[in-house]
Structure 1
Amino acid sequence: MRTKILIVIALLIAVAVAVWFWLFQPDEAQHTPEAVSGRVPELSEPRYESIPTVDVATATGWPEGAKPVAPEGLTVTAFARGLDHPRALYRLPNGDVLVAETNSPPREGGGIEGLVMAQLMDKAGAGVPSANRITLLRDTDGDGIADARSALLENLNSPFGMALVGEWLYVANTDALLRFPYTPGETKITAAPEKLLDLPGGGNHWTRGLVAGPEGEKLYVSIGSATNIADDGLEAEEGRARIVEYDIASGDSRDYAYGLRNPVGMAFDPIAQRLWAVVNERDMMGSDMPPDYMTAVSLGAFYGWPWHYWGGHVDKRVQPGRPELREYTKRPDFALGAHTAPLDIAFAGDVRLGPDYANGAFVSLHGSWNRKPPAGYKLVYVPFADNGFPVRDAKPVDLLAGFLNDDGEAMGRPVGVIGDASGALLVADDVGNVIWRVAPPRPIPAAPDQ
Structure 2
Amino acid sequence: MAESSLFARIVALVGGAAVAIRHAGDGPKPHAFGTAPSIPDAKPQGKIPTLKMPTAKGWEGNHMPTPAAGLKVNAFARKLVHPRNMHVLPNGDVLVAESMGEEGSGPRSLFDHAMHATMKRARAAGKSPNRVTLLRDADGDGVAEQSHAYIENVRQPFGIVLIGDTLYVGASDAVLAYPYVEGETRITTPGKKLMDLIPGGHWTRNLIASKDGTKLYVAVGSLSNIGDHGMAAEENRACIHELDLTTGQSRVFAGGLRNPVGMAWEPTTGQLWTVVNERDGLGDETPPDYLTSVVDGGFYGWPYCYWNRIVDDRVPQDAAKVASALQPDYALGGHTASLGLCWLPEGTLPGFPAGMAIGQHGSWNRSKLSGYKLAFVEFKDGKPVGMPREILSNFLSPDENYSYGRPVGVALAKDGAVLMADDVGDVIWRVTGA
TM beyond 0.5: yes
**How far apart, in 2, do the equivalents of 1:71 and 1:200 lie?**
40
- Cα offset, 1:407, TM superposition: 2.9
| Equivalent residue number for residue 343 of structure 1 | 339
Q: Return 159-168 or 270-279, whichever deviates more.
A: 270-279
- Cα offset, 1:25, TM superposition: 4.5
Q: 2:415 aligns with which of 408, 419, 422?
A: 422
TM-score under structure 2 normalisation?
A: 0.94
Aligned amino acid, residue 261 of structure 1: R
Q: Is the 8 A contact 1:303 1:311 kept in 2?
A: no
| Equivalent residue number for residue 216 of structure 1 | 213
Task: Classify 1:24/1:232 alpha carbon distance in 2 versus 1 (closer, same or farther; 3 Å).
Answer: closer
- Cα offset, 1:17, TM superposition: 5.8
Aligned amino acid, residue 76 of structure 1: V
- Greater strand proportion: 2
- Cα offset, 1:19, TM superposition: 5.9
User: Deviation string for 1:89-119 (max 9, x for gaps)?
Assistant: 1101111100001112342353224422321
| Equivalent residue number for residue 353 of structure 2 | 358
Larger Rg: 1
| Equivalent residue number for residue 379 of structure 1 | 374
1:307-346 counterparts in 2 under 5 A?
307-319=304-316, 321-346=317-342
**How far apart, in 2, do the equivalents of 1:412 and 1:222 lie?**
24
Aligned amino acid, residue 396 of structure 1: P
**How far apart, in 2, do the equivalents of 1:24 and 1:419 lie?**
39
- Cα offset, 1:44, TM superposition: 1.2
1:20-419 counterparts in 2 under 5 A?
25-28=22-25, 30=27, 32=29, 35-50=31-46, 51-112=48-109, 113-202=111-200, 204-319=201-316, 321-349=317-345, 352-354=348-350, 356-385=351-380, 387-391=381-385, 394-408=386-400, 409-419=402-412
Structure 1: gaps of 5 or more residues: 1-12, 442-450
- Cα offset, 1:349, TM superposition: 2.2
User: Deviation string for 1:279-303 (max 9, x for gaps)?
Assistant: 0000000112100001010100000
**How far apart, in 2, do the equivalents of 1:307 and 1:298 lie?**
19
Q: Is the 8 A contact 1:137 1:148 kept in 2?
A: yes
**How far apart, in 2, do the equivalents of 1:117 and 1:25 lie?**
13
Task: Classify 1:432/1:92 alpha carbon distance in 2 versus 1 (closer, same or farther; 3 Å).
Answer: same
1:439 aligns with 2:427: no
1:15 aligns with 2:3: yes
Across the two proteins, how many residue pairs are aligned to each other?
Answer: 422
**How far apart, in 1, do the equivalents of 2:396 and 2:129 lie?**
25
Q: Return 117-126 or 424-433, whichever deviates more.
A: 117-126
Q: Return 416-425 or 15-24, whichever deviates more.
A: 15-24
C-alpha RMSD of the superposition: 1.7
Task: Indicate the percent of aligned positions where both proteins have the same amino acid.
Answer: 46
**How far apart, in 1, do the equivalents of 2:68 and 2:190 lie?**
45
Aligned amino acid, residue 66 of structure 2: V
SS at match of 1:268: strand
Q: Is the 8 A contact 1:29 1:373 kept in 2?
A: no
Q: Is the 8 A contact 1:105 1:157 kept in 2?
A: no
- Cα offset, 1:236, TM superposition: 1.2
- Cα offset, 1:235, TM superposition: 1.4
SS at match of 1:284: coil
- Cα offset, 1:27, TM superposition: 1.2
**How far apart, in 2, do the equivalents of 1:328 and 1:36 lie?**
23
**How far apart, in 2, do the equivalents of 1:108 and 1:258 lie?**
29
- Cα offset, 1:152, TM superposition: 0.7
- Cα offset, 1:184, TM superposition: 2.1
Q: Is the 8 A contact 2:21 2:51 kept in 1?
A: no
SS at match of 2:177: strand
- Cα offset, 1:226, TM superposition: 0.4
- Cα offset, 1:335, TM superposition: 0.6
Q: Is the 8 A contact 1:29 1:372 kept in 2?
A: no
User: Deviation string for 1:235-287 (max 9, x for gaps)?
Assistant: 11111100000001111110000000001111112222211111000000011
| Equivalent residue number for residue 13 of structure 2 | none
Aligned amino acid, residue 398 of structure 1: E
Q: Is the 8 A contact 2:28 2:367 kept in 1?
A: no
